[in-house]
Amino acid sequence: MEKRKLGKSNLEVSAIGLGCMGMSHRYGPVGDWKEMISLIHSAIDRGVTFFDTAEVYGPFANEELVGEALAPYRDKIVIATKFGIKIVDGKHVQDSRSEVIRSSIEGSLKRLKTDFIDLYYQHRVDPNVPIEEVAETVKDLMKEGKVKHWGLSEAGVQTIRRAHKVLPLTAVQSEYSMWWRRPEEELLPTLEELGIGFVPYSPLGKGFLTGRFNKNSKFEKSDFRNIVPRFTPENLDANQILVDLIKKVAADKDSTPAQIALSWLLAQKPWIVPIPGTTKLERLEENLGSVNIKLIPEELQSINSALDKIKIMGDRYPEEFEKTTGL
């Protein structure tokens, strides 16, 4: 597995990480605990060193799972987790007050069975707490040795600039894939300018870009995709044109649609590290195989030109989730 550094930091991780949220949160039935631990160990065996979780996943259960799985390998891996979202009456609410962050870090350290967090993200920007105050709190946690690097998730470029002035950011995490390219407009140029790494979540479009779904697809009752506008039968059908494009490229490269979607991300910038999630070993191996698929500039230009002509139908989140979702 090749390695990448997140921006100008010295934080080196595997070129593809593992998003662990779906093992216990949001995507249908929770995975078997022992099987998920075995899957995380299989990822380590295959060179993955970067594991992503969050306090709110579960809540708490995902950190506990990841903590138990990674404890024997702590000196060989990088753990990313997140603070700043709590669940109130079943809804996600941002809360990044200093005392809440301090409470969160203690809980995360205990659940993750570690003395420090390698990469600590603010999960969503709190409109009630200036980002400068958040940065100062994290700076104190760094002085105490509890945090090594910090980042922001789904933050706007002005917030990123303000935070970075107080305490240099190592990474920003946001959704980015062939069917959500908005980061290309302002975010990627800003991160390049400031020397901040980028960690795309949902790099496979919540599974859509793998080609596994169509207008007849049904999801488990507890699966978040049931309320995602892009996963209505009409939009699944309308967006198949994107899958058809990816399948064509995959056939030409003797690979799979998932591998093309991930290799496309890897080819954008050398400081981009996607974190696809899965609960299945065969999908893990497929995803990791994307590092061996190299798209040359001419191929990228051709793909991007085709993508520019495709209008994606449906919002990426329900309206009430757009600002506060912990995904």
- Residue 29 sits at φ, ψ, to 5 deg, of -55, 140
**pLDDT(118) > 60:** yes
Model pLDDT for residues 307-320, shown as the tens digit of each residue: 999 999 999 988 76
For the domain bounded by 3-208+268-291, which CATH number is listed? 3.20.20.100
**pLDDT(321) > 80:** no
Average pLDDT over residues 126-138: 98
Distances (CA, A) of 315 to 21, 188, 228, 319: 21, 21, 7, 8
pLDDT reported for residue 324: 47
- Closest of 224, 250, 231 to residue 312, by C-alpha: 231
Q: Catalytic: 73?
A: no
> From the candidates 57, 120, 176, 201, which is the catalytic residue?
57
Model pLDDT for residues 213-242, shown as the tens digit of each residue: 999 999 988 888 999 999 999 999 999 999
Domain range annotation of the chain: 3-208+268-291
pLDDT reported for residue 160: 98
Q: What confidence tier does 28 reach under pLDDT thresholds 50, 70, 90?
A: low
Model pLDDT for residues 41-75, shown as the tens digit of each residue: 999 999 999 999 999 998 999 999 999 999 999 99
pLDDT reported for residue 153: 98
What average pLDDT does the structure give for the chain?
95
Residue 88: partners with Cβ closer than 8 Å, 6 or more residues away: none
